[in-house]
Amino acid sequence: MKRMLAIVAVLAAVATFGFAAGEADAPAEGPTRIRVNMEGYAGGEGTPEEIIATQQARLDGGELNANQAAETEWRIDYITALAEAADERGVQWEGVDWGWAEQLTQRQLNAFLAEQGPDILVGEVQMPGFARQGYLEPFPPALAAKVRAEVVPGAYGPMEVDGEIYGIATFPGVNVLFWNKDLLRQAGLDPDRAPATWDEWLDMVEQITAAGNGEFYGGGTYAGPNFGGSLRVGPFMMMAGGGFIDENGDVDFANEGNFEAFSFMRELAKNSPPGAVAGASEGGWWDALNQGRIAYVVDGPWRLAAGEALGIDIGYSTLPIPTGGSAANVTIGAAFYGVPTYAENKEEAFLFIEALLDESVQDLHVQAGQRPPVLQMYSQDADFADSYIATFHETLYGDVSGLPTFKGESNARIWDVFHQHMAEAIVTDGDIREILARAQELGEQFQGQ
């Protein structure tokens, strides 16, 4: 047994010293290279040179269609500009792609547990929660002041906690109404007219459904039992004076605003292919749009380019508002960048975030036309008055928030409860008030745990 232990000890020692020797053999370290968790739209894996080489290889492969080739060329330009902007600030970096949604959150959770990982994290609905739970560093005063002075409020508002900024979306999304102009034409409607109110929109939607006679429908918005649903239903709740939490931050599902919003959404939901509105997966909903089976959808800015790529003649406007209500929105697809408390290179990390706001980098978002830039200067520029930027900035200057993090220890459970009851309220014939009351009761129960 002693010999066995000795063998194990020797093996462990060899392994340990082996690794140590490996480290000793590594080339001498140059300037600090921070690791940046990036998302798929404007990021990549590896150093800027490696990301560009990968994209170039895709281009050279010659297997991309025109849209893919244009996107790849844009990505090369974007990474080049970002590398230069970071370099000007003395920051070397490499990208880390951890995917998105559940997979990303799991990896970030592991990074927090291990207290090591990328110096910058990116994410959507989980990031405001990370900020509130103290996992992120507040922006240094100079950067925070610069952000407040130069950036549209909707880009950082959801990441503000107690007056501090903990993250920023440098190409954020907010919900906008998109429509398939061809289907409006087939229904005898003006394809360029945006509905201003809920009543007007519902009327148009019903006309399209009637004209479609089962072939196509008016549509509305996806309302599935997940964040994809609540991110798109949320603005309607807020516009009607409802929402997820009250002024004290307590669960507040059973309110009149939500009742009004869900009643409206239920009417809208009758104008979509069976099962598409609240399917567990969003896929069915977007398939319906892509196949020309629904006219209206609510989505983030990428839908414009995605629709055009499929040859859909697409119109867009800010969301219609309810009679007596006011405009409000929820960020969607907003990739918030923040610096985790465990980061070893916080100073460089914040300089990198500043580079993301550099005009040369922001200009590339204008060029791509998929996501709005966040610098206020664009909405003040007359050249952009009629562009999609104006539409999105109009919203980003308004009442924009992220989805909240609920009090207590059961945020995910409360979200599960909300999502399930939201879908039930919208796609069944049940009593909406009773469904909301059930959600409220469970939400309060879990909030108290």
Among 411, 432, 436, 440, binds other proteins (CB under 8 A): 411
Residue list 37-56, contact with other proteins (CB under 8 A): none
Q: Which helix (H) or strand (E) holds 36?
A: strand 33-38
What lies within 8 Å, CB to CB, of 6 at 6+ separation is: none
CA distance 146 to 156: 12
Residues binding other proteins: number (CB under 8 A): 48
DSSP letter for each residue of 168-235 = EESS--B-EEEEEHHHHHHTT--TTPPP-BHHHHHHHHHHHHHHHTTS-EEE-----SSHHHHHHHHH
CA distance 331 to 392: 11
SS3 270: coil
Task: Supply the minimum distance, in Å, between the C-beta of residue 419 and other proteins.
Answer: 9
Closest Cα partner for 301 from 289, 313, 285, 317? 317
Residue list 187-226, contact with other proteins (CB under 8 A): 225-226
Among 99, 397, 428, 431, binds other proteins (CB under 8 A): 428
Torsion (CA) 85, 86, 92, 97 in degrees, nearest 10: -100
420 touches other proteins by CB under 8 A: yes
Among 299, 348, 358, 424, binds other proteins (CB under 8 A): 424
Selected range binding other proteins among 31-39, 46-54, 56-64, 424-432, rule: CB under 8 A: 424-432
Task: Supply the minimum distance, in Å, between the C-beta of residue 317 and other proteins.
Answer: 24
Task: Supply the minimum distance, in Å, between the C-beta of residue 133 and other proteins.
Answer: 6
65 touches other proteins by CB under 8 A: no
SS3 281: coil
Comparison of 363 and 444: residue with beta carbon closer to other proteins: 444
HSE-up of 22 (CA within 13 Å, CB side)? 6
413 touches other proteins by CB under 8 A: yes
Q: Token pair of 262, please?
A: 């869900």
Question: For residue 142, what is the DSSP state?
Answer: H
Comparison of 1 and 28: residue with beta carbon closer to other proteins: 1
The CA–CA distances, whole Å, from 294 to 176, 272, 431 equal 16, 7, 27
15 touches other proteins by CB under 8 A: no
SS3 13: helix
Comparison of 231 and 368: residue with beta carbon closer to other proteins: 231
Residue list 287-316, contact with other proteins (CB under 8 A): 287-288, 291, 293
Comparison of 285 and 378: residue with beta carbon closer to other proteins: 285
Among 83, 319, 427, 432, binds other proteins (CB under 8 A): 427
Residue list 246-275, contact with other proteins (CB under 8 A): 273-275
Binding letters toward other proteins, positions 83-112, x by CB under 8 A: -------------------x--xx--x--x
Closest Cα partner for 143 from 122, 159, 130? 159
Q: At what angle do helices 256-269 and 198-212 cross, to 10 degrees?
A: 20
Task: Supply the minimum distance, in Å, between the C-beta of residue 311 and other proteins.
Answer: 17
What lies within 8 Å, CB to CB, of 198 at 6+ separation is: 264, 320, 321, 322, 323
410 touches other proteins by CB under 8 A: yes
Selected range binding other proteins among 32-40, 187-195, 201-209, 411-419, rule: CB under 8 A: 411-419
Task: Supply the minimum distance, in Å, between the C-beta of residue 72 and other proteins.
Answer: 25
Interface with other proteins by CB under 8 A: which residues?
Answer: 1, 3-4, 7-8, 102, 105-106, 109, 112-113, 133-135, 225-226, 273-276, 278-281, 283-285, 287-288, 291, 293, 341, 409-413, 415-417, 420-421, 423-424, 427-428, 442, 449
